Amino acid sequence: MTKRQNKRLLWQLPILMFLIAGTVIFVHQKHAAPYQHNSGFIFGTVYNVTYQSDQDLNSEIVKELNKVDQSLSPFNSSSIISHINRNENVKLNNMFTDVFTLAEKISKETDGTFDITVAPLVNEWGFGFKKGVEPNKHVIDSLKDLVGYEKVRLSDGKIIKKDNRMMLDCSAIAKGYGSDVVARYLLSKGITNFMVEIGGEIVTKGLNDKNQSWKIGVTKPADDPLNTSQELQSILQVTDIAMATSGNYRNFYYKGGKKYAHTIDPKTGYPVQHNILSSTVLARDCATADAYATSFMVLGLDKAKMILEKHPELMAYFIYSDERGHYQVWFSPSMKDKIEQ
């Protein structure tokens, strides 16, 4: 081969490589799996799952969700938690013990503002799985004796209560855990692009069908118990992370001219009156994000910031009301690049 031919070959190589790369990309796109979209009803709310796969896995997803329901739903009379609340012998499974252990850990880290034993108070105020009426101070004080995460423990595969009248309610962590369970199932099937959402509690992985990060709206607070207002405060661009939101602006009722929020402070026994209207938390798993989002609603803005300083692995986006009643926003500095401008 002459020197001139060598020179011509070297000049042609980049073009050849470009054509080969383009062909590979074209073939990959041609054979890329489509995105599936499944939705349904679970845990008293709606689930939506979007994932890239050649198969529709909704029936398997429902099976996974039903396992969580059978473990943690107080609305399911045959669930493990319902048996525990009735003081009946029941064999605990891994799902229940995982959630109980995580709840206990977060209760300790938040000084009891997250507490799955708050059920008697929640029910008495009319937000739980039993209908209640507005309680008086005497009733509240007596029920507080039945509340406290340190009064219940897991020992030798059983739940031991200090008082048999105590009840457990995992509603502030179960939806997030359910999203984690579905996410783990999808990963076990080799699926790496998905978004799982159960009642606003979300797990994201990889990219959406536009080959972009997943976009999730944070709704602007409004006195809107029927969820008719969907005006967004911000849009977050996220991937490979879980996200949960807690807010009192849609979960409340009016009685006697008073507005009662659904988040109960386990320490006082009364609905919270803090300035945070919406608490969105990003974490490695959705159960953790779910629990902290609820806890921050109880703690209020200043104390929530103190918790976040101790836990740099968490990120939060708060919508709160200032002294003049105007909406304001605070978010973790590490979230800045996730907020769509």
DSSP structure class, residue 339:
B
Give the closest residue to 47 by CA, choosing from 72, 66, 74. 66
> Does residue 253 form part of some domain?
yes
pLDDT digits (tens, 9 = 90+) for 8-57: 555 555 555 555 555 444 444 445 899 999 999 998 899 999 999 999 99
CATH of the domain at 252: 3.10.520.10
> Does residue 244 form part of some domain?
yes
Per-residue model confidence (pLDDT) at position 321: 83
pTM of structure: 0.85
> Does residue 35 form part of some domain?
no
Mean pLDDT (the chain) is 86
264 or 315, which is more confident? 315
Distance CA 141, CA 322 (A): 31
- How many CB atoms neighbour CB 216 within 10 A? 22
Distance CA 230, CA 218 (A): 9
> Does residue 219 form part of some domain?
yes
Identify the three-state secondary structure at position 47.
Answer: strand
> Does residue 243 form part of some domain?
yes
> Does residue 267 form part of some domain?
yes
Phi, psi of 59, rounded to the nearest 5 degrees: -65, -35
Distance CA 28, CA 44 (A): 40
Percentage helix, strand, coil, to 5, in the chain? 40, 25, 35
> Does residue 314 form part of some domain?
yes
DSSP structure class, residue 248:
S
Query: How many structural domains comprise the chain?
Result: 1
Q: How confident is the model at residue 4 (pLDDT cuts 50, 70, 90)?
A: low
> What does each C-alpha distance from 306 to 7, 141, 242, 314, 316 come to in angstroms?
66, 29, 21, 12, 12
Residues spanned by the domain of 307: 213-338
Tokens of 98: 């995982």
Q: Which of 133-137, 184-188, 210-214 has the lowest mean pLDDT?
A: 133-137
275-290: average pLDDT? 94
> Does residue 283 form part of some domain?
yes
